[in-house]
Amino acid sequence: MRLGFYPKLAVTGIAKNKKTYVPYILTGIGMVMMFYIVTFLSENSAVGNMRGGESVQGFLSLGIGVIGIFSTMLLFYTNSFLIRRRKKEFGLYNILGMSKGNLSRVIIWESLIIAVTSIVLGLGCGVLFSKAAELLVSRILDSTVGFNFTVDEEALVMTLKWFGVIFSLILLSSLYQVYKSKPVELMKSESVGEKPPKANWLLALVGLVLLGGAYYLAITIQDPITVMLLFFVAVVMVIVATYLLFIAGSVTFCRLLQKNKRYYYKTNHFISLSSMVYRMKRNGAGLASICILSTMVLVMISSTSCLYIGGEDMLRQRYPRNMVLETNVADKEYTAYFHQVIDEELAAHQQREENAIHYRYVSFGGIREDDRIILDESKISASVDFSNYWQIFVIPLEDYNQIMGTSETVAEGEALIYATKTNFKYDEITLDGIGTFHVKNAEEGFVSNKTDSMQIMPSMFLFVPDVTDILNALNEIVVRTGDKGARGMAYIHDYYGFDLACDEQEQTEIYNRIMERVTAEPIMEATGLSAEEVAEQNLSVSFECMAAYRDDYLSLNSGFFALGLILGLVFICGAVLIMYYKQIIEGYEDQSRFEILQKVGMTKKEIKKSINSQVLTVFFAPLIMSGIHMGFAFPLVSKLLMLFGLMNIRLLILVTLGSFGVFALFYILVYLATSRAYYSIVSENNLD
């Protein structure tokens, strides 16, 4: 045998099976490329130097692991399919006199060609597109990068190592499979008689119950804290239920329909239904995986992009004005000092306060029991259920009217009430030890509040003509319980926020100047008290500037978004590939069935129609199912996002629908492409 014989055999082997090998190599290239790009981004100093770049890199290094593991699974899955199809050919070679050693050499050459092609082209594309990815990240981070083009050696080596190992393992598993089988088995391995699938009522029922339970959980949980605890429970339930329903439920459903003789023995249903049973048995697990992958992609992309798009919104919730001064003593003389500092610095920069808001508030927490708020610290700390914990703000009605531009009045024993995150549906509200108020709803709401926007628990704003009664009552509670930690709540805080017309850089400068002075001459200066006295009275002041915090705040969201986009892309590629191979397998298996159907008197058109309806069902069942999953997951996701401070439900709805739409479109395109491959296989010698 000449030296070039094995390579030649390997090349023709790949070329002859290009329908299955080309997608495999493409997957290899795609995975290598993604892996390199993500590694490159997480290592590259240019990204690290961007504003917020480091946190993005932190997320991306998580992504490396996910992509690594996912690509291993995907390549193994694909390869097992390829080997199954090739076994007949190998069996023939074996019978024609090639030993298993010879066969191994062919397989080794094939693997070598595939691995080298995948890695070289993948790295090439990776290097080529890494700049584009860098630009994309800089765009997400709202930053700029230079035009220099770099190749990251470390990333290159890491990619080479990782995929070298994967392809070697795949080679070993193929060799093992060929070694352990006999030639006659190799010849036959594709046409092993298949047992008819049996309906498994129990598993189907368990699946239904689990899914129902998960859905019930998803729509009934109201408060975000329980959501956080139960989210993963619900996810696991849905995953298990999806597998059970696709594997057992679908077969059981088909069997049930077959029992109905009138339905089953109809021309349209007869062929489709009986083939569907087998199709679902073979593909149940794959379809469930596709369904779960798509749901994951959708949830991930919609929530991360929602966080990213809504970032500015969330920032505004957190910082209702560009600059916010908060002091926990609403004493005019005391606050006047800080106002003076601000005024001086603004004057120095020739800026004026705009959109100023000013209000005083008393704030404390309590456990809500129906229309009662329990303030007793001992009862609060004894409680394990934090889902009823509420934040209460009491604000003078006068301040409310001034800010909202209204002239609301309340009767004796009445309070204007505004609750965030949940509805308060009672006519009365009792604050334990303080008093009971008739509820008058504040239809217009109120300006957003930092504490409220950062907490997952709901807040209640009470607007009353006079806060001193409440303050006194609170003081009594503090004295009675002797709890030092509770002391902070018995103060009237002063909230002062304003916008500036200048750009953010200048705002940051002004902010830094003011901070220097406020911290250099702190509260002692303002009040004339000693440091001990200040600590004793729990006095504090905070001054915040949105511009100075923006990067820190948004880079988290950007990191999520970048990771979501990249993983979403990888998962979609995986789902597409699995779908493609499913179609191809089906195609080969349907080939012979086609012939028989034609011989017993079905027209080509009828066969095509029947096959089409089955393929459509198989293909779109996961999409529809994941759409339903998404729908039920929506309340959970929206509450989870609340934890991150995203309150804009409308945005979430739009983004979710948008990503589902884009995904569905993509899915249909893939369907059209793969169904063409499918038809070309089944009609190879049948449907001309």
User: Which residues bind to other proteins, rule: CB under 8 A?
Assistant: 193-196, 261-262, 265-267, 270, 274-275, 277-278, 593, 595-606
Beta carbon of residue 593, minimum distance to other proteins (angstroms, whole number): 6
Q: Which is nearer to other proteins, 355 or 603 (CB)?
A: 603
Beta carbon of residue 682, minimum distance to other proteins (angstroms, whole number): 15
Q: Which is nearer to other proteins, 398 or 606 (CB)?
A: 606
Q: Which residues contact 384 (CB under 8 A, 6 or more apart)?
A: none
Side chain identity, residue 153: E
Beta carbon of residue 283, minimum distance to other proteins (angstroms, whole number): 14
Q: Which residues contact 430 (CB under 8 A, 6 or more apart)?
A: 371, 372, 373, 436, 437
Q: Which residues contact 652 (CB under 8 A, 6 or more apart)?
A: 302, 303, 306, 310, 634, 637, 638, 641, 646
Q: Which is nearer to other proteins, 481 or 598 (CB)?
A: 598
Q: Which is nearer to other proteins, 88 or 593 (CB)?
A: 593
User: Torsions phi, psi of 294, nearest 5?
Assistant: -65, -40
Beta carbon of residue 94, minimum distance to other proteins (angstroms, whole number): 25
Coil, helix or strand for 583?
helix
Side chain identity, residue 621: A
Q: Which is nearer to other proteins, 270 or 632 (CB)?
A: 270
Burial class (CB in 10 A: 0-12, 13-18, 19+), 229: exposed
Q: Which is nearer to other proteins, 358 or 604 (CB)?
A: 604
Please give the distance of CA 59 from its chain centroid, rounded to a whole number.
Answer: 13
C-alpha span between 294 and 620 (Å, rounded): 12
Beta carbon of residue 246, minimum distance to other proteins (angstroms, whole number): 19
> CB of 75 within 8 A of CB of 195?
no
Beta carbon of residue 237, minimum distance to other proteins (angstroms, whole number): 33
Beta carbon of residue 231, minimum distance to other proteins (angstroms, whole number): 41
Q: Which is nearer to other proteins, 196 or 485 (CB)?
A: 196
Q: Which is nearer to other proteins, 508 or 591 (CB)?
A: 591
Beta carbon of residue 291, minimum distance to other proteins (angstroms, whole number): 24
Q: Which is nearer to other proteins, 73 or 256 (CB)?
A: 256
C-alpha span between 123 and 115 (Å, rounded): 12
C-alpha span between 70 and 77 (Å, rounded): 11
Beta carbon of residue 614, minimum distance to other proteins (angstroms, whole number): 11
Sign of CA dihedral 613, 615, 617, 619: negative
> CB of 391 within 8 A of CB of 365?
yes
Beta carbon of residue 139, minimum distance to other proteins (angstroms, whole number): 53
Q: Which is nearer to other proteins, 190 or 371 (CB)?
A: 190
Structure tokens given for 61: 């290094």
Q: Helices 604-643 and 546-599 meet at what angle, rounded to 10? A: 160
C-alpha span between 415 and 38 (Å, rounded): 55
C-alpha span between 247 and 198 (Å, rounded): 11
Beta carbon of residue 276, minimum distance to other proteins (angstroms, whole number): 9
What is the DSSP secondary-structure string of 60-95?
Answer: HHHHHHHHHHHHHHHHHHHHHHHHHHHHHHHHHHHH
Q: Which is nearer to other proteins, 499 or 606 (CB)?
A: 606
SS (H, E, C) 595-661: HHHHHCCCCHHHHHHHHHHHHHHHHHHHHHHHHHHHHHHHHHHHHHHHHCCCCCHHHHHHHHHHHHH
Beta carbon of residue 287, minimum distance to other proteins (angstroms, whole number): 18
> CB of 365 within 8 A of CB of 390?
yes
Please give the distance of CA 554 from its chain centroid, rounded to a whole number.
Answer: 17
Burial class (CB in 10 A: 0-12, 13-18, 19+), 308: buried
DSSP 14: H
Q: Which is nearer to other proteins, 599 or 650 (CB)?
A: 599
> CB of 492 within 8 A of CB of 484?
no
Computed on alpha carbons and rounded to an integer, the radius of gyration of the chain in Å comes to: 33
Beta carbon of residue 199, minimum distance to other proteins (angstroms, whole number): 14
Q: Which is nearer to other proteins, 551 or 595 (CB)?
A: 595
